[in-house]
């Protein structure tokens, strides 16, 4: 199946009236029971198993790409916080053999055709140079579906995930080539607007995206920045305007 066809909004024929319920077993908390119940009744989880994707998150990237046509054959792609590999899998199938996909995570990831996974902290000072070398040049796209471990405190969780997105954006600026794109997970809550304003300085277009595969009860959003302009490029454009 091509990743650009077969709209991911479809539930693939999973009936909503066949909801499975989980009994609270010995050693299983109520929150664990609710999580398991949600997984068992999630049509995207079932679809990922049928179609061979490593996670339901793959459909978020598929849906965003179907709308904005981010991924193209031959591109160089970096996937930050790549485990278990769903986004890398989607990227590799679209960029093809002429492209390059490198996934980075603190966790080891099971190998996958068309992707090079490395166990590394992207905050490591040597990470940008190492990834650029692995890609064979500057990146065309930096992806980040990273999320900090939830604390249960809404404001704290929001600030932590925004902090991750801001840090990943700084990393993206170090390895993106001209015209590159950055896609990252954020949470609604107000402070994400500061991130957008910051990105607008370096990218020609910045927007919020909410794919259908994001759970309806989730405050999850994605920020999409396209048309990267380096500081040198901005300075040259400003000088040309003044001439």
CA-to-CA distance for 228 and 113, rounded, in angstroms? 29
Catalytic choice (19, 72, 185, 210) = 185
CA-to-CA distance for 116 and 101, rounded, in angstroms? 6
- E strands in 28-93: 76-80
Rg of the chain over CA atoms, in angstroms?
Answer: 19
Give the DSSP letter of residue 199.
H
* Active-site residue, 185 included: yes
Q: Which token pair is 19?
A: 């909801």
- E strands in the chain: 76-80, 100-105, 116-119, 139-144, 176-187, 203-209, 220-228
CA-to-CA distance for 138 and 77, rounded, in angstroms? 9
Could you give the residue numbers annotated as active site? 185
């Amino acid at each position: 199946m091509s990743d650009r066809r077969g709209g991911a909004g479809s539930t693939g024929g999973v009936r909503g009236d066949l909801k499975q319920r989980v009994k609270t077993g010995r050693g299983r908390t109520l929150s664990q029971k609710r999580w398991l119940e949600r997984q068992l009744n999630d049509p995207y989880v079932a679809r990922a198993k049928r179609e061979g994707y490593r996670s339901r998150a793959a459909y978020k990237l598929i849906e965003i790409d179907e709308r904005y046509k981010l991924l193209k054959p031959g591109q160089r792609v970096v996937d930050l916080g790549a485990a278990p590999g769903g986004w890398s899998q989607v990227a590799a199938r679209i960029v093809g053999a002429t492209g390059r996909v490198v996934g980075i995570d603190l966790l080891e990831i099971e190998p996958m055709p068309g992707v090079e996974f490395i166990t590394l902290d992207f905050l490591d000072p040597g990470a940008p140079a190492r990834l650029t070398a692995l890609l064979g040049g500057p990146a065309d796209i930096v992806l980040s579906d990273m999320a900090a471990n939830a604390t249960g405190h809404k404001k704290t969780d929001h600030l932590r995930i925004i902090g991750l997105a801001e840090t990943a954006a700084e990393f993206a600026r170090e390895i993106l080539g001209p015209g590159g794109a950055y896609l990252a997970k954020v949470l609604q809550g107000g402070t994400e607007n500061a991130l957008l304003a910051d990105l607008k300085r370096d990218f020609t277009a910045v927007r919020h995206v909410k794919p259908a595969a994001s759970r309806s009860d989730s405050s999850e959003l994605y920020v999409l920045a396209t048309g990267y302009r380096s500081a040198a490029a901005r300075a040259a454009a400003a000088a040309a305007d003044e001439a």
